[in-house]
Amino acid sequence: MNWNGVVQVIAGAGALLLAASIPASAQGIPPAAPARAASGSPLNDPPPIAREARGWLADLIKINTSNPPGNEQLAAMYVAGVLQKEGIKPEMLDLAPGRSAVVARLRSSVVPDPSKSLLLVAHLDVVPVDKGRWTVDPFGAVIKDGYMYGRGAIDDKGMLAANLAVFIGLKRTNAHLNRDVIFLATADEEQSADASIRMLIAKYWDKFAAGFAINEGGNVFLKNGKVQYIGVQASEKVAVNVAVIARGTSGHASQPTKDNPVVHLAGAITKIGTYSAPVHFTAIVRRYFEGIAPLEDDEIAKWIRSVDTPDRGEHAQRVVSDASPLWNAMLRDTIAPTVLSAGVANNVIPAEARANLNVRLLPGDSIGTVVNDLNKLVNDPAVRLEVQPNAGLAAPPSSLESDFYNLICRVASKEFDGAPALPFQSTWLTDSAQLRLHNVQAYGLVPFPLTQEDLRRMHGDDERIPLVAFDKGVGVLTKIVTEFAVTRY
């Protein structure tokens, strides 16, 4: 549906129906009062745009975009409504029935220069919830103890609401822009399937072609009440699924045979589960470890500094990998068994047993090499490994020398009391890989200072965002985007 379509639908016969399902602030009703706290505290008294952004975030959480199935169109229409009220003309980009992205642009000149344009990206969909394990309604945007709870509070509706605030703030100030700033809310990020950014680029690239982007992917890591460092994502690992298939002869369970595929599969998975792929350094990971060493205690710092030395390297890699699953995954390809399936009845030996391995490759590493190594390790003719379709593509890293990267690091570091900004290679996937494949210098920074404990809740139960962190993030992102948009580089 294009923008005109939205106007017609809202103003037409479906108005009542739609108005009922679109939250308050899209209908021109002021957002609900945010967190209660002691009077005069930042909780109670956020900057005006952050207060509005809290309302947008709450409304977005209330629109259930669990993917599958996604149903992002309603959230896209909500965002379009917020933008339209500011006199901005958004455009709906349809991808599949009920699934749309939305784009809008602040122009710097009559003839746009896509190579200079800056794209603000966030996704509309969220991962599903296990409702029974939540202590609050996951789609209620409940405010409790200074947090807003809800699926997507961080990933990625927090960033989406922050992007909206930055974009609308820029429009309201009427600043003279030296590059176009483009707002883009994508669909189907969590499943990367038929309505994802891959499709969006294939169908609508001209609508948001840009030289630079800021997206999720990096984080502001809070430890012991202080920002320890800012990880600016400039690269990401590549996901590939590999099936492990054991075959044997089906038969009566009362007379076990040696070729029972359940037993062969279990043996293979046990070996794979204890395997560590060799360490490979990418330029970004090398710089990350150089930067992180001085922030850690002396003992672990000593081993971090030794990871790439000929004499102590191997031992150091073991110590560092054991100290942190994140560090382990930054140093090597990882292989995680995730799904097991076998058997049709309790008294039948099945003919086949299968498992799925979720492999995360360092950019540049080959799945063929990993499969070869695993085949040698498993060493069982009854077991076969099969690379599954839809493997991710490795993208070139974004530059660590660009003006935008330097600006993000400088502003974020200043805003977070001098904490260092380090280049970051995420173990998780984002829309940025597809952008990088189209020559966009894309950087990941969710600008909210968050503890490990809060980061862990993304994709987990009781996802929540501290309201103070949200407000701070809106301010930091505003500074980064405004400076890059108005400065002549």
Nearer to Zn ion, 155 or 454 (CB): 155
The sign of the dihedral angle between the CA atoms of 211, 179, 443, 185 is negative
Q: CB nearer to Zn ion: give 59 or 155.
A: 155
> 65 or 228: whose CB is closer to Zn ion?
65
Taking the complex as a whole, how short is the minimal distance between the CB of residue 158 and Zn ion, in angstroms? Answer: 10
Please name which of 351, 358, 316, 317 lies closest in space to residue 334, comparing C-alpha atoms: 358
CB nearer Zn ion, residue 91 or residue 155: 155
Q: How far is the CB of 346 from Zn ion (least distance, A)?
A: 41
Rounded least distance, CB 123 to Zn ion, Å? 6
Query: Looking at beta carbons only, is 119 or 407 nearer to Zn ion?
Result: 119
Minimum Å distance from CB 196 to Zn ion? 12
Q: How far is the CB of 396 from Zn ion (least distance, A)?
A: 21
Please report how close the Cβ of residue 438 comes to Zn ion at its closest, in angstroms. 19
Pairing between β-strand 147-149 and β-strand 181-186 as defined by DSSP bridges: unpaired
> Tokens 């103003």 label which residue?
11
Residue 63 Cβ vs Zn ion, minimum distance, rounded to whole Å = 16
Contacts of 233 (CB under 8 A, 6+ apart): 215, 217, 218, 424, 425, 426, 430, 432, 443, 444, 445
Residues 6 or more apart whose Cβ sits within 8 Å of residue 244: 265, 268, 269, 272, 337, 354, 355, 356, 357, 378, 383, 384, 385
Residue 186 or 334: which CB sits closer to Zn ion? Answer: 186
Measured distance CA(15)–CA(81) in Å, rounded: 13
The answer to whether the beta carbons of residues 86 and 206 sit under 8 Å apart is no
Name the residue nearer to Zn ion (CB basis): 52 or 216: 216
Question: Amino acid identity of 167?
Answer: F
Residue 487: burial class (beta carbons within 10 Å; 0-12, 13-18, 19+): exposed
Q: Which is nearer to Zn ion, 46 or 152 (CB)?
A: 152
- What's the distance, Cα to Cα, between the start and end of the chain in Å? 37
Closer CB to Zn ion, 72 or 155, in the complex? 155
CB atoms within 10 A of CB 342: 17
Helix (H, G, I), strand (E, B) or coil at 37: coil
Residues lying near Zn ion in the complex (CB under 5 A) are found at 155-156, 216
Structure tokens at 362: 């360092």
Q: How far apart are alpha carbons 255 and 343 in whole angstroms?
A: 16
> 22 with 81: CB under 8 angstroms?
yes
Rounded to an integer, what distance in angstroms lies between the CA atom of residue 93 and that of residue 108? Answer: 22
Nearer to Zn ion, 154 or 421 (CB): 154
Hey, how many other C-beta atoms are within 10 angstroms of the C-beta on 16?
7
Look up tokens 């899209």; give the residue.
26
Q: Which is nearer to Zn ion, 156 or 188 (CB)?
A: 156
The size of the chain, in residues, is 489
CB of 406 to Zn ion, least distance (A): 25
Q: Least Å distance between CB 430 and Zn ion? A: 6
Task: Decide: 394 and 357 in contact? Cβ < 8 Å.
Answer: no
Helices (H) and strands (E) in the chain, counts: 16, 17
What's the min distance (Å) between Cβ of 212 and Zn ion?
19
Q: How far is the CB of 216 from Zn ion (least distance, A)?
A: 5
Given a contact cutoff of 8 angstroms between Cβ atoms, the answer to whether 451 and 457 are in contact is no
Tokens encoding 162: 């922050």
What's the min distance (Å) between Cβ of 484 and Zn ion?
22
Exposed e or buried b for every residue in 98-131, given b needs 16+ CB within 10 A?
ebbbbbbbbebeeebebeebbbbbbbbbbbebee
Nearer to Zn ion by Cβ, of 59 and 463: the residue is 463
Minimum CB distance to Zn ion, residue 301 (Å): 31
Which of residues 216 and 471 has its CB atom nearest to Zn ion in the complex?
A: 216
